[in-house]
Amino acid sequence: MNRNNKLTDTELVAKVQGSVGDAGDVGDYEAFEELVKRYERRIYGHSLRLLGNKEDAEDVLQETFLNVFRAIKNFRGDSSFSTWIYRIATNNALMKLRKSGRVEVEFDDEFPNIDPAKGGATVSYIEGPGDALIEKEVLAELDKAVKKLPEKYRTIFLLRDVEEFSTTETAEILDITESAVKSRLHRARLSLREGLSKFKEGAVGN
């Protein structure tokens, strides 16, 4: 029976750290594997949205867990484990993106975490009177608009409104100030709202 799946991230990290030897070898593989199981889909999805390429996203996923494996003995818990691993993953993804020299990137047609049926902060900023349900066409247009955002705004939007990290956590992940997070998120949302407004006007006109 796997009892690790009932443990918190903090408890799992403690189990892994308790079995780390002087050489840095992680002995409690089951605890570490549970952490991988909890985060691999999320980290892959986040990387895919940033990079737009499945192979690159898979590379970032592998690099991230390798980094975590090597550095977990030094994790002090000053921030949550989720914030820490997303910081590693985001840095890896942005490094790969910048090395490629791409300014605008292609994404898969999927944007799975943006699901109006589930509610949450992801789409709340475009909701208003009469907008209780967002049609598929609007969701697809949101996807397109997100793809066009400059990297620093797209990254903020994905972390805050898709992954639903707090302003403080997002600032920690990106190593920027909270005011910078708020400013960039505001600009990203304005840009997306403008794009969606034009789409709605065009849809009505048709």
| Residue 63 is assigned to a structural domain of this protein | yes
Distance of CA 128 to the CA centre of its chain: 26
Phi/psi region, residue 24 (left: phi>0; alpha: psi -120 to 50; beta: rest), is left
> For the chain, how many structural domains are there in total?
2
Same domain, 117 and 83: no
Same domain, 13 and 92: yes
More confident position, 164 or 98: 164
**In this model, does residue 83 exceed pLDDT 70?**
yes
Same domain, 29 and 100: yes
The CATH number given to whatever domain includes residue 20 is 1.10.1740.10
| Residue 53 is assigned to a structural domain of this protein | yes
Q: For residue 159, give Cα distances in angstroms to 2, 72, 163, 189, 198.
A: 31, 22, 5, 13, 25
Domain that holds residue 81: 7-107
**In this model, does residue 64 exceed pLDDT 90?**
yes
The first and second tokens of residue 71, run together, are 């550095």
Same domain, 61 and 143: no
More confident position, 192 or 122: 192
Report pLDDT digits (tens) over 20-52: 554 445 557 889 999 999 999 999 999 998 988
Domain boundary among 107, 127, 159: 107
Same domain, 153 and 69: no
**In this model, does residue 133 exceed pLDDT 90?**
no
The CATH number given to whatever domain includes residue 173 is 1.10.10.10
Distance of CA 29 to the CA centre of its chain: 25
Question: Burial level of 123, CB count in 10 A (0-12/13-18/19+)?
Answer: buried
Q: Among 25-29, 34-38, 68-72, 79-83, whose mean pLDDT is lowest?
A: 25-29
Same domain, 52 and 93: yes
pLDDT at 193: 85
Domain boundary among 107, 124, 141: 107
Same domain, 114 and 143: yes
Q: Whole-prediction pTM value?
A: 0.76
C-alpha Rg value of the chain to the nearest Å? 19
Same domain, 61 and 118: no
| Residue 2 is assigned to a structural domain of this protein | no
Domain boundary among 62, 87, 107: 107
Same domain, 28 and 50: yes
Same domain, 47 and 124: no
Report pLDDT digits (tens) over 158-177: 999 999 999 999 999 999 99
Same domain, 75 and 115: no
